[in-house]
Structure 1
Amino acid sequence: MVWLIVAGLIAVTLLTFVMTIAQLDLYRRYWFSVLRKDCQREVPPLPESLPRVTIQLPIYNESPVVNRLLEAASRIDYPHDLLQIQVLDDSTDDCSKILVEKVAEIQQREPSLNIQYRHRIDRTGYKAGNLDEGTTWATGEFIAIFDADFVPKPDYLQQTIRYFQSEDTAIVQSRWGHLNPESSIVTRVQQFFLDGHLSVEQRGRGDSDLFLIYNGSAGIWRKQVIVDCGGWMTTAAIEDVDMSYRAQLRGKKIVYLEDYTTPGELPDSMIALRLQLFRWWKGNLQIAIKYIRQVWQSDYPLIKKLHATTHLFGPLMSAVTFANIILAGAVPLIVTWYPETRYWLASTLLGVALIPVLFLVYGTGRIRFGEGSHWQKILGVIPLGSMLMVLHSGLSCQHTVSAFEAFFTKKNVWVVTPKGFSSTGSSQAKRRRVKIPWYFWLDALVIVYLIACGWIALMFQFYMIAALQGLWIGGFLWVLGGSLWEATKDQRAFSFSSAEKDHLENAAAELSPGSMESATLAS
Structure 2
Amino acid sequence: MIWQVSLLILYTVSLFIIFIFSVGQAYLIFFYLKSKREKEIIPVLQNDIPKVTVQLPLYNELYVVERLINSVCDLNYPKEKLEIQVLDDSDDDSLILTKRIIAEKQAQGFDIVHIARTKNIGFKAGALQNGLNIAKGEFIAIFDADFLPEKDFLIQLIPYFNQAKIGMVQSRWGHINKDYSLLTKVQGFGLDGHFTIEQTGRNKAGLFMNFNGTAGIWRKTCIMDAGGWQHDTLTEDLDLSYRAQLKGWQFQYVEDVATPAELPVELNAFRSQQHRWTKGAIETSKKMVKEIWKADVGLKKKIFGTLHLMNSYVFLFVFLTSILSIPVLFIKNEGNINPIYFQLMSVFLIGFVIVTLFYLIANFSKKESLKAFAKLFPMFLSVSMALSFHNSIAVLEGLFGFKSDFIRTPKFNITNLKEGFKSNIYVKHGLPKAFYVELFLSLYFFTGLVFAIYYKDFGLFPFHLMLFTGFSTLTFYSVKSKLA
Identify the TM-score tier after normalising by the shorter chain: over 0.9
Letter in 2 for 1:484: V
- The corresponding residue for 1:48 is 47
**Structure 2 vs 1, CA of residues 322 and 79 (structure 1 numbering), >3 Å: closer, same or farther?**
same
Question: How far is the alpha carbon of 1:315 from its aligned partner?
Answer: 1.3
- The corresponding residue for 2:67 is 68
- The corresponding residue for 1:398 is 390
- The corresponding residue for 2:308 is 311
- The corresponding residue for 2:205 is 208
After superposition, the C-alpha distances for 1:371-421 in whole angstroms (9 at most, x for unaligned) are 5xxxxx122212211111101111111111111111012402211111124
For 1:219-238, what aligned pairs fall within 5 Å after superposition?
A: 219-238=216-235
Find the partner of 1:165 among 153, 157, 162.
Answer: 162
Asked if the contact 2:379–2:466 (Cα under 8 Å) also holds between the matched residues in 1, the reply is no
Distance 2:13 2:277 in 1: 25
Q: What is the alpha-carbon root mean square deviation over aligned residues?
A: 1.9
After superposition, the C-alpha distances for 1:305-363 in whole angstroms (9 at most, x for unaligned) are 22112211111112111111111111232123333342223322222222232222123
Distance 2:253 2:365 in 1: 17
- The corresponding residue for 2:190 is 193
- The corresponding residue for 1:324 is 321
Bigger RCO (CA 8 Å, 6+ sep) = 1
- The corresponding residue for 2:410 is 418
Letter in 2 for 1:67: E
**TM-score normalised by length of structure 1:** 0.87
Question: How far is the alpha carbon of 1:429 from its aligned partner?
Answer: 4.7
After superposition, the C-alpha distances for 1:463-494 in whole angstroms (9 at most, x for unaligned) are 333443232112111113312320343xxxxx
Find the partner of 2:35 among 11, 33, 36.
Answer: 33
Find the partner of 1:477 among 460, 472, 476.
Answer: 472
- The corresponding residue for 2:214 is 217
The SS at the match of 1:240 is helix
The SS at the match of 2:459 is helix
Question: How far is the alpha carbon of 1:426 from its aligned partner?
Answer: 6.2
- The corresponding residue for 2:285 is 288
Find the partner of 1:385 among 364, 377, 384.
Answer: 377
- The corresponding residue for 2:79 is 80
**Structure 2 vs 1, CA of residues 323 and 137 (structure 1 numbering), >3 Å: closer, same or farther?**
same
Question: How far is the alpha carbon of 1:167 from its aligned partner?
Answer: 1.8
Asked if the contact 2:83–2:137 (Cα under 8 Å) also holds between the matched residues in 1, the reply is yes
Distance 1:441 1:382 in 2: 30
Distance 2:437 2:229 in 1: 34
Distance 2:333 2:62 in 1: 59
- The corresponding residue for 1:514 is none
Distance 2:48 2:462 in 1: 63
For 1:443-462, what aligned pairs fall within 5 Å after superposition?
A: 443-462=438-457
Question: How far is the alpha carbon of 1:423 from its aligned partner?
Answer: 5.7
Distance 1:246 1:459 in 2: 55
**Structure 2 vs 1, CA of residues 35 and 217 (structure 1 numbering), >3 Å: closer, same or farther?**
same
Letter in 1 for 2:52: V
Distance 2:436 2:236 in 1: 29
- The corresponding residue for 2:422 is 428
Asked if the contact 2:88–2:115 (Cα under 8 Å) also holds between the matched residues in 1, the reply is yes
Question: How far is the alpha carbon of 1:261 from its aligned partner?
Answer: 1.1
Question: How far is the alpha carbon of 1:234 from its aligned partner?
Answer: 1.3
- The corresponding residue for 2:16 is 14
Distance 2:170 2:46 in 1: 18
Letter in 2 for 1:138: A
Question: How far is the alpha carbon of 1:217 from its aligned partner?
Answer: 0.6
The SS at the match of 1:62 is coil
Letter in 2 for 1:315: S
Asked if the contact 1:55–1:86 (Cα under 8 Å) also holds between the matched residues in 2, the reply is yes
**Structure 2 vs 1, CA of residues 439 and 460 (structure 1 numbering), >3 Å: closer, same or farther?**
same
Which stretches in structure 2 are left out of the alignment for 5+ residues? none
Asked if the contact 1:65–1:423 (Cα under 8 Å) also holds between the matched residues in 2, the reply is no
Distance 1:222 1:193 in 2: 29
Distance 1:345 1:309 in 2: 31
- The corresponding residue for 1:353 is 350
After superposition, the C-alpha distances for 1:418-475 in whole angstroms (9 at most, x for unaligned) are 1124369764355733265534443233234334444444333323334432321121
Distance 2:338 2:229 in 1: 52
Letter in 2 for 1:78: Y
The SS at the match of 2:337 is helix
The SS at the match of 1:64 is coil
After superposition, the C-alpha distances for 1:81-106 in whole angstroms (9 at most, x for unaligned) are 22110011111222111111111221
Distance 1:301 1:431 in 2: 50
Which stretches in structure 1 are left out of the alignment for 5+ residues? 372-376, 490-523
The SS at the match of 2:66 is helix
Asked if the contact 1:5–1:327 (Cα under 8 Å) also holds between the matched residues in 2, the reply is yes
- The corresponding residue for 1:107 is 106
Say yes or no: does 1:465 pair with 2:460: yes
Q: What count of residue pairs does the alignment treat as equivalent?
A: 479
Asked if the contact 2:432–2:478 (Cα under 8 Å) also holds between the matched residues in 1, the reply is no
After superposition, the C-alpha distances for 1:177-208 in whole angstroms (9 at most, x for unaligned) are 11111111111111111111101100111111
The SS at the match of 1:367 is helix
Asked if the contact 2:11–2:321 (Cα under 8 Å) also holds between the matched residues in 1, the reply is yes
Distance 1:295 1:24 in 2: 22
Asked if the contact 1:329–1:454 (Cα under 8 Å) also holds between the matched residues in 2, the reply is no
Letter in 2 for 1:30: Y
Distance 1:141 1:266 in 2: 31
Pick which of 308-317 and 247-256 moved more.
308-317
Distance 1:362 1:336 in 2: 34
